[in-house]
Amino acid sequence: MRFAELADVYARLEATKARLEMRHLLAGLLRPLKGRELEEALYLSQGLLRPEYEGVELGVADSLARRAVALASGEEEAAVGRAARLSGDLGRTAEELLGRARRLAADEPLDVRDVYAAMRAIAAAAGEGSQEQKVQRLVTLLGRASPLEAKYLVRFVLGTLRVGVREMTILDALNEAFADGSKESRLRIEAAFNLSSDLGLVAVTLAGGDVAALAKIGLEVGRPVRPMLAERETTLEAVLERMGGRAALEIKYDGLRVQAHVPRDGPVRLFSRRLEEISAQFPELGPELARAIRSPPAIVEGECVPVDLDTDEIQPFQDVSRRRGRKHDLAKVQEEIPVRLFLFDVLLADGVPVYGLDFAARRARLEQLVRPTERVHLATQRIVEDVEAAKEFLDESIAAGGEGVMAKSLKPESAYRAGARGYWWIKYKRDYTVGLADSIDGVVVGGFHGRGRRAGRFGAFLLAVYDPAKDRFESFTKVGSGFDDAALAEMPHRLERWASEEPPANVASGITPDRWFRPGLVLEVRGAELTLSPVHRAALGAVRAGAGLALRFPRFTGRYRTDKGPTDATTAHELLEMYRKQVRQAAPTADEDPGAS
Ligand code: AMP
């Protein structure tokens, strides 16, 4: 097919907003094509060279494209730049300039396949001299292009094709071009896309056979599946009702969704919720997953969250987002911001697709499949059948560092629905609208060795409140934020006189720091909220048997309370009061929402 036909359809697509017309235009374009040519025309029309998840990029900067347009049109580069600034679109400028330029008549019109091959070569050029190669290829293409073609070629290389065809419109067009256009076939086409994330593959399969041929498209390790998504509800009562009175509740971890593809041999590959490959950002997870998964090939999903490996406490999400997109110092961040992957689903186990099983069966497969390691755990789950139990699990989730709960349907039809948002999964978050108003004066009772940038000194400290009745110091948090380098450097001197080989007799904590200190130094901290904790001992048992109070996301304010002795620090009783007050400030929960029945 001539590229001119494609360009002509692009021009008409651009001129319309009506989805139905877009579908007809696209269907008309695709219908005569098959095989490689179909695939290539489809990717080009999406502004891509390969399915999005492969992340193939052209690597053509604006300046480079400008130079190519200048060379192809015989204009000065500066003049091209000025014209493009005026039009706001180098593609349009290329169209104009090439329209005016006196050029030799193109002897060989462009085919879709030529354009595709040239674009692949442009994308592949890397290293020394590659910029020049890219320019030359582009100039050659533009030399053979009509002004209209040039407009779309330039936009394509700049990633601004903007013909506005969304994936859903392409699926409609495929249904019209290669199937009977019915709702039923549309569903099957979409299902194949959701499993493969590859419109080119779906199109070629469909064009080469019929709708039934789509059944051949299954899971493939290394090719991400479009993720199943959750609906939300505002009360736990409503959640349970939707689920038919019985549901699996899981901690809703606040981190990054990760789909892990574990082959029998070779590297594990990780994909984000948007199907970008993120393996390189979490290099420690691959090998650990390879050890954790008993029977590859497997595809599993989980949430990746920062954790404190000393206390097992979940850390704020911002920490893990700092690791995204990082290209340098990966080893250092890995140490500084350790993460843990909490697995919650399985799509392929031992090479067998299990996404069609109901959720209880999938969870059972997941439990068989995974041998937990330091950084790979299973999501904490509990089956509940009444609101009381659900509330209790919610409290525990928050205490464990979750942002709420994920409820999962246990009905027979609770298969993994790739790419779909529905009430099979319901998220319920408890958002605190107000942070803790007051600061807390905590006594340092322990120190933890720093990691990464902080290696060789203390990186964090165990803090305690005072209980006058028991005359003991009870831990409530581990704080590492808020200390600048200077503050960390002087902490050992400030703490020296209280150093202790043994755990001090008047200190209570479920956590063992690297170094103990007798209560002496008082620090002022602030935090996001107080929660129940299985490892801290502040006001132990006052709210729930076996649970102490803990401060989440603590931060040193920079104030050393040298004016205070350890027994002048915040007391366990004061902390309990703060906890109770804070609960009343929470955004509507199941108990308080006036809309709840
Ligand atoms: P949201 O991003 O608020 O729409 O919530 C859905 C997201 O919660 C999912 O895409 C996951 O990234 C995340 N999540 C956290 N914990 C779980 C869990 N136990 N099961 C499923 N998704 C979870």
- Which of 252, 301, 340 for a ligand 1 pocket mutation test, highest count of atoms within 8 Å of Cβ? 252
Q: Which of 17-21, 168-172, 492-496 has the lowest mean pLDDT?
A: 17-21
Cα 186 to Cα 35, 178, 179, 209, 442: the distances in Å are 21, 11, 8, 15, 62
Query: Given 102, 133, 158, which residue is the final one in a domain?
Result: 158
Average pLDDT (65-85) is 95
Q: Is the dihedral of CA 480, 485, 489, 494 positive or negative?
A: negative
Q: Is residue 224 part of a domain?
A: no
Q: Is the pLDDT confidence value at 595 over 80?
A: no
Q: How far is the CA of 375 from the centre of ligand 1 (A)?
A: 18
Q: Is residue 298 part of a domain?
A: yes
Q: Is residue 203 part of a domain?
A: no
Helix (H) or strand (E) holding 354: none
Which tens digit of pLDDT belongs to each residue from 231-241? 888 889 999 99
Query: Given 134, 158, 182, which residue is the final one in a domain?
Result: 158
104 and 74 share one domain: yes
Helix/strand/coil (H/E/C) assignment for every residue in 54-106: HCCCCCCCHHHHHHHHHHHHCCCHHHHHHHHHHHCCHHHHHHHHHHHCCCCCC
- % of the chain surpassing 90 pLDDT: 73
In this prediction, residue 518 carries a pLDDT of: 95
In this prediction, residue 435 carries a pLDDT of: 59
pLDDT band (50, 70, 90) for residue 79 = very high
Q: How far is the CA of 334 from the centre of ligand 1 (A)?
A: 23
Q: Is the pLDDT confidence value at 493 over 50?
A: yes
273 and 406 share one domain: yes
Rounded CA separation 339/323 (Å): 10
The amino acid occupying position 374 is E
Q: Is residue 236 part of a domain?
A: yes
Q: Is the pLDDT confidence value at 42 over 70?
A: yes
Q: Is 252 among the residues known to form the active site?
A: yes
Query: Given 430, 465, 482, which residue is the final one in a domain?
Result: 430
444 and 426 share one domain: no
In this prediction, residue 171 carries a pLDDT of: 96
Q: Is residue 58 part of a domain?
A: yes
Which tens digit of pLDDT belongs to each residue from 143-155? 999 999 999 999 9
273 and 410 share one domain: yes
Which CATH number does the domain housing residue 97 bear?
Answer: 1.10.3260.10
Give yes or no for residue 253 CB within 6 A of ligand 1.
yes
In this prediction, residue 324 carries a pLDDT of: 66
In this prediction, residue 124 carries a pLDDT of: 96
Q: Supply the residue whose CA is at minimum distance from atom 17 of ligand 1.
A: 252
375 and 455 share one domain: no
Q: Is the pLDDT confidence value at 273 over 60?
A: yes
261 and 410 share one domain: yes
Give yes or no for residue 252 CB within 6 A of ligand 1.
yes
281 and 346 share one domain: yes
Which tens digit of pLDDT belongs to each residue from 290-300? 999 999 999 99
Q: How far is the CA of 255 from the centre of ligand 1 (A)?
A: 8
Q: Supply the residue whose CA is at minimum distance from atom 6 of ligand 1.
A: 230
In this prediction, residue 593 carries a pLDDT of: 37
In this prediction, residue 354 carries a pLDDT of: 98
Which CATH number does the domain housing residue 343 bear?
Answer: 3.30.470.30
In this prediction, residue 429 carries a pLDDT of: 83
Which CATH number does the domain housing residue 505 bear?
Answer: 2.40.50.140
In this prediction, residue 589 carries a pLDDT of: 44
383 and 249 share one domain: yes
Give yes or no for residue 579 CB within 6 A of ligand 1.
no
Q: Is residue 300 part of a domain?
A: yes
Residue scoring higher pLDDT (485 or 37): 37
Q: Is the pLDDT confidence value at 388 over 60?
A: yes
332 and 468 share one domain: no
In this prediction, residue 439 carries a pLDDT of: 87
Q: Is 107 exposed, middle or buried (0-12, 13-18, 19+ CB in 10 A)?
A: exposed
Q: Is residue 221 part of a domain?
A: no
Which tens digit of pLDDT belongs to each residue from 157-199? 998 887 767 888 999 999 999 999 999 999 999 999 999 999 9
In this prediction, residue 594 carries a pLDDT of: 36
Q: Which residues contact 541 (CB under 8 A, 6 or more apart)?
A: 547, 548
Tally of domains within the chain: 3
Residues spanned by the domain of 91: 48-158
Which tens digit of pLDDT belongs to each residue from 211-237? 999 999 999 999 999 999 998 888 899
Q: Is residue 233 part of a domain?
A: yes
Catalytic residue among 134, 252, 408, 478: 252
413 and 465 share one domain: no
540 and 420 share one domain: no
299 and 376 share one domain: yes
Rounded CA separation 453/437 (Å): 31
Q: Supply the residue whose CA is at minimum distance from atom 3 of ligand 1.
A: 427
In the three-class reduction of DSSP (H, G, I as helix; E, B as strand; rest coil), residue 517 is classed as strand
